[in-house]
Amino acid sequence: MRRALVIQHVEMEGPARIAEILAETGVALEVVAAFADPVPTALAPEELLVIMGGSMGVADRADPRFPFLPREIALIERALRQGNPILGVCLGAQLLAHTAGARVFPNVGPEPDAAGRPVPVREVGWAPITLHGLGREPALAGLPEQMTVLHWHGDTFDLPPGAVHLASSARCRNQAFRLGERVFGLQFHVEVDGATAARWAREDADFVRSARGPAGPAEVVAESARLAPAALPAADRMIRNIVGCMGG
């Protein structure tokens, strides 16, 4: 039986539908809570690596509060050299991009403020992405040109050298990439349903307010009920496509 190692950074951001779909395809899962348990130093050949999101960032890799970040970067580097299939989601995509040689940095708007300073753009809530490579990218098979997904980030990344650009949004150009045939980074969340997104809005309310203002948490709860049910079939299709590309 094939195995997948899932790295989880915070309690609220588990693998959810990714874990369920991997299990459906006969992949055995080991979930490591990096905030509590040691991050493994190596993967078996052909073992899948799935790296989830979290509130910390690549810029925090020297912060003693997050000793697991350098260990993860080392693990990702080894997995890339070994040719393991990898899926990074949100923070996981940023760690993957960084390890593969790309810059990770705060997402900003196209225009500076009145003092000439960059304006941070935190993308939070349900909003569309545009897919690139329809008709030629197996990870996008059967998907529409635009799909609604859950966003929950303040950082972004350049594409790693050799990466294929798979998705963008109006507020963040690099939303997804493929590196080689079996390595994928997704800035957005396809694993989360409406109830989970509403819980995030309540538990991470300060971050939501920083992105959307005082009414932000209530807005995200409302749009989760309104938009998530129609968004989930495409999200599941993308997960299944990627798992298939990874060999799961």
Q: Is residue 53 pLDDT above 80, yes or no? A: yes
Catalytic residue, chosen from 90, 123, 151, 223, is 90
Is there a domain that residue 164 lies in?
A: yes
Number of domains in the chain: 1
Write out the residue range of the structural domain in which residue 169 sits: 3-121+152-192+235-246
Q: Which residues of 36-75 are buried (b: 16+ CB within 10 A; e: fewer)?
A: eeebbeebeeebbbbbbbbebbbeebeeeebebbebbbeb
Kindly give the pairing relationship between strand 164-168 and strand 176-179.
Answer: antiparallel
72 is an active site residue = no
Average pLDDT, the chain: 96
From 153, 172, 189, 245, the catalytic residue: 189
pLDDT of residue 221: 98
Q: What is the arithmetic mean of pLDDT over 28-57?
A: 96
In a domain, 64, yes or no: yes
Report yes or no on 178 lying in a domain: yes
- 3 state SS of 76: helix
The torsion angles phi and psi of 128, rounded to 5 degrees, stand at: -75, 150
pLDDT bin (cut points 50, 70, 90) of residue 70 is very high
Residue 145 pLDDT exceeds 90: yes
Q: What does pTM read for this prediction?
A: 0.96
CB neighbours (10 Å) of residue 194? 19
At 1, the pLDDT band (50, 70, 90 cuts) reads confident
With b for 16 or more beta-carbon neighbours within 10 A and e for fewer, the 156-178 pattern comes to bbbbbeebbebbbbebbebbbbb
Residue 138 covered by a domain: no
Query: What percent of the chain is modeled with pLDDT above 90?
Result: 94
SS3 of 227, please? helix
Pairing of strands 155-157, 86-89: unpaired
Contacting residues for 13 by C-beta, under 8 A, at least 6 apart = 52, 53, 54, 90, 200
pLDDT at 116: 78
Residue 35 has a pLDDT of: 93
Is 191 catalytic? The answer is: yes
- Rounded-to-integer distance, Cα 29 and Cα 47, Å: 10
> For residue 201, is it within any domain?
no
pLDDT of residue 117: 86
The answer to the question of residue 204 being in a domain is no
**pLDDT surpasses 80 at 112:** no
Over residues 90-104, mean pLDDT: 98
| Torsion, Cα of 222, 224, 230, 231 (10° steps) | 150
Whether 113 shows a pLDDT value over 80: the answer reads no
Cβ distance 149 to 188 under 8 Å?
yes
Of 51, 6, 13, the residue nearest 184 (C-alpha): 51
pLDDT of residue 248: 67
Does the pLDDT at position 160 exceed 70? yes
Q: The domain spanning residue 95 has which CATH number?
A: 3.40.50.880
Question: DSSP code of 163?
Answer: P
Does 209 map to a domain? no
Quick check: 114 pLDDT over 80? no
pLDDT in the model for residue 162: 97
Give me the phi and psi of 124, to 5 degrees please: -135, 130
Calpha distance 39→29 (Å, rounded) = 15
120 or 166: which leads in pLDDT: 166
Q: What's the rounded mean pLDDT across residues 149-169? A: 98
Residue 43: CA count within 13 A, CB half-sphere: 30
Examine the residue annotation and report whether 165 is marked as an active-site residue of this protein. Answer: no
Asked if residue 78 belongs to a domain, the reply is: yes
d(CA 62, CA 193): 33
